[in-house]
Structure 1
Amino acid sequence: MMGEQKSEPQLFNYAVNLEKRVRANHPLRQIKATIDFGFVREEVAHCYGEKGNVSVDPVAILKMMFLLFFDDVPSERELMKIIAERLDYLWFLDYSLDEEIPDHSVLSKARARWGKEVFESLFIRTVAQCVEAGLVDGKKLHVDASLIDADAAKESVIKSSPELIAALKQAYRATESKLEDTTTPESYEAVNDRLMSRSDPDAAAVRRGGGDSRPRYHHHRAIDDQKGVITAVETTPGSIPENKKLLGLIEQHEKNTGSKVEVAIADYKYGTQENYVACAERGTASHMGDATAKQNHVRSQGIFPESAFAYDPVKDIYRCPTGETLKPRRLHWANRTIEYKAAKKVCAGCLLRAQCTRASNGRTLRRHEKQVALDQREPRRTVARPSATAEGEGISWKRVLLMRPIITTSSAHAGGDSGGSKFKIT
């Protein structure tokens, strides 16, 4: 049976009035006045019966989960220990000084009972309240991701053939689906198909920096530029690249906020041709470094850049600095580009060959099938300086200021009560 916290002042409770003990400009005052946590009761009512023991009020549970992240508390155990010591926490939770503090397991049990769908609904409702309160503009969006260790030891990873790994994962999910109160994550295309963690098959064994390969997840998120409100999230196996989730996060943000994204901001890992084209076609300006800039810089150092070649859209040809013609020769389906090349004998006899190419068969260029859309974005940038304008520099600094605390908090709390950067999809 679902309980409901009674908010009644304790007039004779050690002669302490919590309302007077919390300062007028305390951040929790504004949050309590602005955000209505009461909607959670309606959302989770179906999770409770009509009879039985009375539960902790879902509103109090949701507020505790909020405090866990708001004040960067290391773990759920630690949160429950300090609630009784914090008058502002007691006031925020509508608890009295002598009220019994729930066990930390209340939060983990609530997560399991409420389920993924309820938390998605709670997240959307919370974002909607932030929009109504004027905390979200919706037009400028920052996107990033963190690689989080799964709650599984690296020793749990086994290596085998892709076929056997796929069979083991299928058997695991079939067994898991029979368990009570268990939900399985959405299916995904296996990228890391030769490795599997026996304790967490949904995690992917990947490296971070120069460290060891171990089971990890990618936590993707979108953050509104105005006040740093997280408006869209997704968790995937760590083998799913960050740049594959850019459009999904933008679409989720627009659905949750009701606003169209005008500017998408991300680091160079998101700067793929696919993302540039998609943003251009949907009318979204992109502030992203070029994912290939470093590689292209090394490869093209000391030779004519692509910009030195003029494209003729009528004849569909390029002209090199000496006026020779590069014609379309081959279509690359994988990256949707057309290869342009001059005749081998033309390059072989060119006086500027040393300044144009190091390849034995001559200079080649590649043009994306959506090159017109790519050309509409900002001038190509480097990895070190992803924004070439003063406005871009300001946007990049704003992104750092918004993302850094969120990345730190996300990593610290990914495992809930584990007290460290551990994570598991449930």
Structure 2
Amino acid sequence: MMGPRQVAQGALFYEFSIEDHVPPDHLLRAMDRFVDLGDMRRHLAPFYSTTGRPSVDPELMIRMLIVGYAFGIRSERRLCEEVHLNLAYRWFCRLDLTDPVPDHSTFSKNRHGRFRDSDLFRHLFESVVARCIVEGLVGGETFASDASLIRADANKQYAAAKADWAPDRIDVQAAPRAVREYLDVLDDAAFGAASEVDPKFTSFADPASQWTGARKGPAFFAYSDNYLIDTDHGVILDVEATRSIRTAEVGATRTMIARTRERFGLTPERLAADTAYGSGEMLGWLVGQGIEPYIPVIDKSERHDGTFSNAEFQYDPKRDEYACPGGKVLKKYWRQMKRPRDGIGKDGFRRYFARQADCAACVLKERCCPNQPRRKIARHVHEAARDAARRIATTDAYVDASRRRKKVEMLFAHLKRILRLDRLRLRGPNGARDEFLLAATAQNLRKLAKLIAATPATA
């Protein structure tokens, strides 16, 4: 039998509790246990005036931003609508049914003002990392680092070649915020000073973004999101925004390792990364820091034409010379120098040469240097660190570290597909940094909620 028509009838009084309508296994219940904003007011106090109209509660705005980045709500206008309608979001943000939701313009004013001036998002991210350490999710033995391209909010139609885009003619006072930020980072190693090569195009809307074709498809403007993670549970220990070029990304890894040591007292025993981080300078820096490089070496000395490779020449560190398979010697200089020279070229290599007469009379010349009058060997100034990385690459521990390193790529996939951060909404280096920090904070909170057994929480 068909039941009666359902008709909504207004009641004079309601007995309603949001707490009773949020499921016990909801993700936000588990995340709420690990969101500690107790010291945020103290951190922000110097950036607020002591007089005037009371502001919107900063904790409310931070909780709303965490909801937005944790559930892939990219628009702040839509975020306000979702918090207004969703009971679980209201519960997490400490809003009752009758409490108003802040206007979306409030986020922009605070984000570009006191939040950025106080470096609040970095403070929030590090507080969550500290909680991960307390909960035992960070082993501190093996770290991994990688970078991923995130599209910038810029279009080629509104761009020009660097020669047609002169920064010295910009009116700083009238320029947009992203342009002013670009001028501020011209000497920053992560942006303007990362490379002397000018990009093919520079965006007028976001000039700090990099024009890149690294994905082997149509080129686009992008920033690089750099992660440093602990491979035990894939917890993000640090995050950095840079230009999308290799030198900036490698430099960001050094910055993140140094900052993690300073903030948390953590120095890894080993670092896993891909070949892009296998330069001699990077390997030498890691070995100098006491970190074992589980990284493939960038090595162009290997030969595949049947002739002797550099590895078949024996190096004598005491005499600083090589011995070839035929028993002859290769030296940097064959005459006495009036002034001592280190022999290091601009590319960081020392070059050792055999005598031309020795090579001409050698029976192995056709297998050594058939198209040259004499053989030469290039040795990097950090060749000892490169040799250490080569030895590590032959161990079973290297295979395990390479497998663990894939957790970084999984985090980037989660960032783009689940959290929907495949394109930035904010412009400029600071905008990219804010978005990357908030997204990494959301990922760590979701990790805590997933790995630490959740218990019912109360508002």
TM-score, reference length from structure 2: 0.76
Residue in structure 2 matching 1:261, options 253, 256, 268? 268
1:175 match: 173
Contact 2:146 2:408 in 1 (8 A): no
Residue in structure 2 matching 1:312, options 310, 316, 324? 316
Deviation at 1:170, TM superposition (A): 3.7
Deviation at 1:111, TM superposition (A): 0.9
Name whichever of 210-219 and 63-72 sits farther off.
210-219
Can you list the C-alpha shifts for 1:126-162, whole angstroms capped at 9, x where unaligned? 333333343333332221112222222112332254x
1:290 corresponds to 2:294:
no
1:413 match: 421
Change in CA separation of 1:73 and 1:398 when aligned onto 2, cut-off 3 Å: farther
1:209 match: 215
Map 1:2-401; keep pairs closer than 5 Å.
15-113=15-113, 114-116=115-117, 117-161=119-163, 165=165, 168-172=166-170, 174-175=172-173, 185-186=184-185, 187-188=187-188, 189=193, 191-193=196-198, 195-239=201-245, 241=247, 242-292=249-299, 295-297=300-302, 299-329=303-333, 331-379=343-391, 387-401=393-407
Distance 1:13 1:323 in 2: 99
Deviation at 1:269, TM superposition (A): 0.3
Aligned residue identity for 1:413: L
Aligned residue identity for 2:196: V
Contact 2:34 2:128 in 1 (8 A): no
Change in CA separation of 1:388 and 1:173 when aligned onto 2, cut-off 3 Å: farther
Contact 2:271 2:293 in 1 (8 A): yes
SS at structure 2 position matched to 1:96: coil
Change in CA separation of 1:210 and 1:358 when aligned onto 2, cut-off 3 Å: farther
Deviation at 1:249, TM superposition (A): 1.5
Aligned residue identity for 2:350: I
Contact 2:280 2:383 in 1 (8 A): no
Distance 2:270 2:154 in 1: 38
Contact 1:127 1:256 in 2 (8 A): no
Contact 2:28 2:92 in 1 (8 A): yes
SS at structure 2 position matched to 1:49: coil
Distance 1:13 1:347 in 2: 101
Higher relative contact order (CA 8 A, sep 6+): 2
Aligned residue identity for 1:159: A
Change in CA separation of 1:136 and 1:60 when aligned onto 2, cut-off 3 Å: farther
Can you list the C-alpha shifts for 1:269-306, whole angstroms capped at 9, x where unaligned? 001111111111111011112233xx544x44422232
1:7 match: none
Distance 2:145 2:264 in 1: 15
Can you list the C-alpha shifts for 1:352-375, whole angstroms capped at 9, x where unaligned? 333323542333211223333433
Distance 1:118 1:397 in 2: 34
Contact 1:157 1:215 in 2 (8 A): no
Can you list the C-alpha shifts for 1:91-137, whole angstroms capped at 9, x where unaligned? 21112234333333333332112215333333333333333343333
Distance 2:153 2:92 in 1: 32
Distance 1:55 1:86 in 2: 24
Consecutive unaligned residues in structure 1, runs of 5 or more:
1-11, 381-386
Distance 1:333 1:137 in 2: 41
Contact 1:217 1:238 in 2 (8 A): yes
Contact 2:297 2:389 in 1 (8 A): no
Distance 1:99 1:405 in 2: 36
Change in CA separation of 1:160 and 1:235 when aligned onto 2, cut-off 3 Å: closer
Deviation at 1:14, TM superposition (A): 5.0
Change in CA separation of 1:210 and 1:369 when aligned onto 2, cut-off 3 Å: closer
What is the aligned-residue RMSD (CA, Å)?
A: 3.2
Contact 1:149 1:423 in 2 (8 A): no
Aligned residues: 397
Aligned residue identity for 2:349: T
Contact 2:181 2:429 in 1 (8 A): no
Contact 2:295 2:389 in 1 (8 A): no
Contact 1:310 1:318 in 2 (8 A): yes
Distance 1:171 1:261 in 2: 46
Distance 2:61 2:79 in 1: 12
Change in CA separation of 1:313 and 1:25 when aligned onto 2, cut-off 3 Å: same
Name whichever of 201-210 and 130-139 sits farther off.
130-139
Aligned residue identity for 2:58: P
Deviation at 1:52, TM superposition (A): 4.7
SS at structure 1 position matched to 2:281: helix
Higher-Rg member (1/2):
2
Name whichever of 148-157 and 96-105 sits farther off.
96-105
SS at structure 1 position matched to 2:101: coil
Deviation at 1:312, TM superposition (A): 1.9
Deviation at 1:250, TM superposition (A): 0.8
Distance 1:85 1:138 in 2: 42
Q: Percent identity?
A: 27
Deviation at 1:325, TM superposition (A): 1.6
SS at structure 1 position matched to 2:233: coil
